Amino acid sequence: MSRYVIEALDTISEWDDNDTSNKARRLRSSILDIEFVISLFVLNKGFSIGLPLSKFLQKPNIDLKLAVQLANDTQKELQEIRTHADDVFKEIFEEVNVVAEKFDIEIKIPRLTKKQTNRCNIPLNTPEQYYRASIFIPYLDKFITELEERFNVHRSILSGFDSLFRENGPIEDIIILSNKYIEDLQNDGSQNQIIEAEYKLWQRKLMQTTEKPNNAVEAMAMCNQLIYPNIFKLLQILVTLPVSSATNERTFSNLKRIKTYPCQRED
């Protein structure tokens, strides 16, 4: 929190304009609320962990395998924090205490009642325990759940393609995957036998390769399309599978600069 923001709001709250000064006072009061301060520090902790994944999903060229791996790592890290929530929040609460002393914010438990429906009403002994249970843990649980739901479909898709990166993967996995994309592969009436033989040769190539491919693009680079046409096609499908809609959204945002309202009227 910046003291300059608070000082600016203090100045604005003294203006003659009643509407503006009242808004400034309300905003200052909200910013200096202890729940808001704790929420800021909790968000900072969570967003710092999710930042690499967020940046990766904004890239125009996203590999599904790497995206799912990064999402899994992010989720595991959040689950680790959730497991040690007491220790992690203790560090956060110490930082909150420093800010509270700086801006003279009272740290206390809100008034509890027998029945409360609009906010947390957990009967705990200390403010640290209360805000850990009412803000920190629910935020982590929500974050983990959202990651699970967001990438659950991608994990199921990748589970079949993952066999293309395993040296000793079962034949059944590649057969199921090839049957799913049978219309895109070469088919001469003996598809399963061809895929099985081609997959075994591909596995031998992976065994002989010192630098294993980490993603579909690297695997495509080492896959000879003439020797492994079906494997190459499956890798090509994996490369082109969409992970996020960031590129599409960015395209429409840029379109607004070209297709303006005056241009539409001229059309």
Residue-level pLDDT at 137 = 94
Which stretch of DSSP H or E encloses residue 143? Answer: helix 137-161
C-alpha dihedral sign at 250, 156, 163, 180: negative
Burial class (CB in 10 A: 0-12, 13-18, 19+), 85: middle
Burial class (CB in 10 A: 0-12, 13-18, 19+), 66: middle
Q: How many CB atoms lie within 10 A of CB 11?
A: 11
d(CA 22, CA 128): 32
Most confident of 1-10, 52-61, 201-210, 211-220: 201-210
In this prediction, residue 93 has a pLDDT band, given cuts at 50, 70 and 90, of very high
With a cut of 90, say whether residue 163 has pLDDT above it.
Answer: no
- Report, as an integer, the average pLDDT of 160-166: 82
Percent of the chain with pLDDT over 90: 30
Residue-level pLDDT at 121 = 63
d(CA 197, CA 193): 6
d(CA 135, CA 186): 55
pLDDT in tens, 101-149: 988 888 888 776 666 666 666 767 788 999 999 899 999 999 999 988 8
> How much is the pTM?
0.71
CA 47 to chain centre: 9
Tell me the one-letter amino acid at 188: D
d(CA 128, CA 42): 13
Task: Judge whether 141 and 155 are in contact, CB under 8 Å.
Answer: no
